[in-house]
């Protein structure tokens, strides 16, 4: 369902009324109109800073150069020498940027992985404070730090622990004009995964992702981080459940856009709609009830008929059966638990037992911010979506040795048939409860899923990424 208020306040009349009444104006987000491009930052000025010269600073400079950005460093920043050394090592040209030169950058990347005490955190202030008044709309901010367990001592861990709170606050300050701010926590030795994460966070593909923390922990055993290529899913066979319409259909479409052959799965009752959706992307329709006891075996058989193993599976299918706990019938509890959780576990177990996954396969599950924050009347749904987060974290440890990655996406308020049925006042309030002051679109979830399913996320495993415009509900 279209956001009529957002559309109206961006008309000439709407702008006048909003200004007269002092109403907030949700930003127009610039979303991707095509697939990933090698020189995605060809028209961007990127300001870069670093707490010290090191492998992260070098990886950042190399990545920005590969994306075609015009890389700038600040003459008044303590971290200038670190970036200059990194640029020299990477054989990349950088130019000096003055905070007051009237030419604002639209990409900001700050490496604070070397921050090891309270004094080192001053770099956050020095880098951002002089520039935030001039940040163009739909700019991108990324801070890079280390995970807490990767620090040399308690003081360094304390310094790194400041970054999630900082980035969440900065995202809330920056969201009014569509700018996003995110944190990458890169494990020592996993620096080769930085470029893929930056390609996502610094692009229109992540328009509705802000205030989030993404751990980059390194590729699974035997998996090498591949150099970037356009249409990175070419030759991959992907399964998407709940693919007939809505978010599932959007996921299938974006996976196909990046080169994947998609097997779309949905209930036999939706076979006609599923067929139409798959036909539009050159995919394969597979009418199947995912709660069938042998659904995983059937999916493996379909993949085998198409000449291969499963490279990607997206567990998107899910249902809600809302009732207050005191009024909930047992069958409503059982139904939601089986569809949203039991089917995922059974399917993956059967695919693993049958050796149906290809090497370097990627599993993506759909959670929800409802599983993080909870919702009255959704104890069954929230339990399953919370369990998915734990499942992904636990399974990552088991699958890493098999060369398989597993991650989750947690959507916030997304414009779908389900949210269109919410009473109008409740719906309008829910839309505005995020730093970007609007609901997301199915394509926003599809873009995040495709990132997790692609080589760009080779260093990401066991993570749950919220796609919610930094919804004010939840952690």
pLDDT in tens, 319-345: 999 999 999 999 999 999 999 999 999
**Do 210 and 242 fall within a single domain?**
no
Report yes or no on 227 lying in a domain.
Answer: no
Domain boundary residue among 153, 184, 216?
216
Whether 284 contacts 208, CB under 8 Å: no
Q: Model's pTM, two decimal places?
A: 0.94
Record the tokens describing residue 372, joined without a space. Answer: 């993080």
Greater confidence, 59 or 10? Answer: 59
Q: What is the average per-residue pLDDT within 234-250? A: 98
φ and ψ at 46, to 5 degrees? -115, 120
Please check the confidence at residue 97 and state whether its pLDDT lies above 80.
Answer: no
Whether 326 contacts 377, CB under 8 Å: no
Active-site positions read: 381
**Do 319 and 194 fall within a single domain?**
no
Number of domains in the chain: 2
Q: In this predicted structure, which of 97-111, 250-264, 298-312 has the lowest mean pLDDT? A: 97-111
**Do 275 and 182 fall within a single domain?**
no
Q: In this predicted structure, which of 18-27, 154-163, 223-232, 457-466 has the lowest mean pLDDT? A: 18-27
**Do 192 and 52 fall within a single domain?**
yes
**Do 418 and 455 fall within a single domain?**
yes
- How far apart CA 397 and CA 203 sit, in angstroms, is 30
Please check the confidence at residue 362 and state whether its pLDDT lies above 70.
Answer: yes
Report yes or no on 148 lying in a domain.
Answer: yes
Nearest to 382 by CA among 448, 328, 312: 328
With 0-12 / 13-18 / 19 or more C-beta atoms within 10 angstroms meaning exposed / middle / buried, residue 426 is exposed
Within its chain, how far is the Cα of 312 from the centroid? 16
Alpha carbons within 13 A on the beta-carbon side of 229:
11
**Dihedral sign, CA of 390, 391, 394, 397?**
negative
């Amino acid at each position: 369902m279209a956001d009529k208020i957002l559309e109206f306040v961006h008309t000439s009349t709407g702008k006048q009324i909003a200004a007269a009444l002092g109403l907030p104006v949700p930003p127009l987000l610039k979303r991707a109109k095509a697939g990933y491009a090698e020189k995605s930052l060809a028209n961007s000025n990127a300001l870069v800073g670093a707490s010290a010269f090191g492998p992260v600073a070098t990886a950042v400079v190399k990545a920005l150069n590969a994306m075609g950005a015009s890389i700038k460093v600040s003459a008044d920043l303590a971290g200038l020498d670190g970036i200059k050394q990194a640029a020299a090592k990477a054989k990349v040209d950088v130019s000096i940027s003055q905070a007051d030169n009237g030419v604002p950058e639209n990409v900001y990347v700050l490496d604070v992985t070397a921050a090891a005490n309270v004094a080192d955190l001053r770099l956050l202030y020095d880098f951002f404070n002089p520039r935030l008044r001039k940040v163009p709309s739909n700019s991108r901010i990324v801070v890079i730090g280390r995970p807490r367990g990767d620090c040399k001592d308690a003081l360094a861990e304390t310094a790194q622990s400041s970054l999630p709170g900082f980035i969440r606050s900065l995202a809330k300050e920056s969201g009014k004009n569509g700018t996003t701010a995110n944190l990458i926590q890169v494990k020592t030795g996993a620096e080769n995964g930085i470029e893929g994460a930056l390609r996502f966070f610094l692009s229109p593909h992540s328009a509705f992702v802000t205030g989030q923390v993404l751990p980059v922990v390194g590729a699974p055993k035997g998996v090498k981080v591949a150099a970037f290529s356009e249409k990175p899913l070419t030759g991959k066979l992907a399964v998407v459940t709940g693919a007939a319409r809505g978010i599932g259909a959007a996921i299938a479409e974006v996976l196909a856009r990046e080169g994947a052959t998609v097997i779309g799965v949905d209930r036999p009752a939706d076979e006609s709609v599923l067929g139409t959706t798959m036909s539009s992307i050159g995919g394969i329709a597979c009418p199947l009830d995912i709660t069938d006891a042998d659904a995983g075996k059937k999916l493996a058989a379909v993949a085998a008929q198409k000449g291969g193993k499963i490279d990607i599976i997206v567990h998107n299918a899910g249902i809600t059966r809302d009732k207050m706990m005191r009024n909930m019938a047992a069958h409503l509890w059982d139904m939601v638990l089986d569809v949203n959780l039991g089917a995922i576990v059974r399917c993956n177990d059967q695919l693993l037992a049958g050796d149906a996954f290809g090497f370097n396969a990627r599993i993506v599950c759909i959670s929800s911010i409802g599983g993080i924050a909870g919702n009255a009347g959704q104890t069954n749904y929230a339990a399953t979506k919370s369990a998915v987060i734990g499942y992904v974290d636990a399974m990552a440890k088991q699958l890493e040795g098999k060369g398989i990655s597993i991650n989750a996406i947690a959507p916030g308020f997304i414009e779908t048939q389900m949210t269109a049925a919410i009473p109008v006042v409740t719906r309008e309030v829910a839309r505005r409860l995020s730093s970007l002051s609007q609901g997301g679109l199915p394509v926003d979830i599809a873009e995040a899923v495709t990132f997790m399913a692609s080589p760009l996320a080779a260093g990401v495993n066991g993570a749950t990424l919220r796609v919610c415009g930094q919804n004010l509900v939840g952690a």
